[in-house]
Structure 1
């Protein structure tokens, strides 16, 4: 299904009924990352998966896709579905978008789950890396995609999940240069949401990967403690939906 947002199509799916759970993917991903999770979840509740702007089957509407603008696109999908309150879980960039949802629409979230994600803003080093990424994408999109996804887990883990990682890369290669750079620029300019996260009076969960090369699990544990959130440590790196699928599935079933 699709809706029109800022003269652009946003793709989404909805299965099951009652107590909505919204699943948001990360950078260079699409709603397909949830395919193995939806059937069992949708047997008990409504599960909505959305392709964020510039990803999957959704189009681009700007040169920069800020997390705030992406969140507004998500809200438009939920408005179309008649959803006024929902649990939201986001992987990596999807977590950033989830935080903006809670900021802009404070009564929307019943609970918030950050998967391999953080409420903290980019460090200066990370912002510089984003700038380099934009330049690399414009010169050689394919090389960037392959490198970026391969760097999300340790070599030992990527070998174990070779087929799934290759599938993720193949799908990401279908993305436009504009979509990749718009999201990269949007992530760079996002603000620090640590205070927002700490002050949210809802169920909050942080799910970390023990070998995540992007977000250190010890740092995420400190974020969880400071933000009064539940903390769960999974095996593998940044791609928990691939590397520790059974545990992540159990945790998603526990979300109210």
Structure 2
């Protein structure tokens, strides 16, 4: 992996592939890291350059601040692209990575060719969700491992918990390695993120929302309505929230058509 230093913190990323298409940035979700994309990268790197980034406090990347805002996440992505001298990209983000993708679109629209949200939403947290994040911050302080295990398990419907038991345990094991303060900083950052519907509506190039029918934390029908209202391509996926694991083949096929 390559690295840059941003505000005193080491940020790690990996670059693979080449081709005529605009480079594609892949951004992982909360409690994940860039390794979630390994199988997808194997396919997509045949036609374009792929940049996978460990967002602050995740994977090998160090934490930066008491609150990891989506603005900070987007700034980190921008700095990685600057280090690679890349002027234009498409971006796809899973869950929290989708929020960071939309913040990148908000702050640096001139560099974005296409944007894809995977099991993610352009909406801000509801009041109820904000309260859950506040309680989660406290729980992480008391028992990080219990929180991580619960938070990851809650992403999967029961059938997926059985089918992908080994992969889920591996995901948990990697998340256990995260520092409590970085988990808390990210929870705080997601809690205060804003609504991105205006940016998504105003974006005139390719925009995609992919949602899973059995996602336990995002409403499939709501995302379908949002996609229609924002004139986004909408794609239906099977199983739960982590479609890069639960519906890998279909997701990869969709991602081949990112401009």
Give the alignment partner of residue 59 of structure 1, picking from 55, 58, 62. Answer: 62
Alignment correspondent of 1:2: 3
5+ residue gaps in structure 2? none
Give the alignment partner of residue 127 of structure 1, picking from 121, 130, 134. Answer: 130
Deviation at 1:82, TM superposition (A): 1.0
Alignment correspondent of 2:193: 190
Q: In the TM superposition, what are the counterparts of 1:200-215 in structure 2 within 5 Å?
A: 200-215=203-218
Alignment correspondent of 1:12: 13
- Cα distance between partner residues in 2 of 1:202 and 1:56: 31
Q: Deviation digits for residues 109-149 of structure 1, max 9, x if unmatched?
A: 10000000011000000000000100000000000000000
- Cα distance between partner residues in 2 of 1:70 and 1:175: 17
Alignment correspondent of 1:218: 221
- Cα distance between partner residues in 2 of 1:166 and 1:108: 37
Q: Does 1:175 align with 2:187?
A: no
SS of equivalent to 1:167? helix
Deviation at 1:158, TM superposition (A): 1.1
Alpha-carbon RMSD across the aligned residues, in angstroms, is 0.6
Deviation at 1:215, TM superposition (A): 0.5
- Cα distance between partner residues in 1 of 2:154 and 2:244: 16
Deviation at 1:184, TM superposition (A): 0.3
Q: Deviation digits for residues 2-28 of structure 1, max 9, x if unmatched?
A: 001011000000011242000000000
- Aligned structure 1 segments of 4 or more residues deviating by more than 6 angstroms: none
5+ residue gaps in structure 1? none
SS of equivalent to 1:112? strand
Deviation at 1:39, TM superposition (A): 1.6
Alignment correspondent of 2:166: 163
Give the alignment partner of residue 101 of structure 2, picking from 81, 87, 98. Answer: 98
Aligned length: 256
Alignment correspondent of 1:36: 39
Output the TM-score relative to the length of structure 1. 0.99
Q: Deviation digits for residues 226-249 of structure 1, max 9, x if unmatched?
A: 110000010011000010000011
Q: Deviation digits for residues 143-164 of structure 1, max 9, x if unmatched?
A: 0000000000112111111111
- Cα distance between partner residues in 2 of 1:15 and 1:153: 29
Q: Deviation digits for residues 26-58 of structure 1, max 9, x if unmatched?
A: 000000000111122111110000000000000
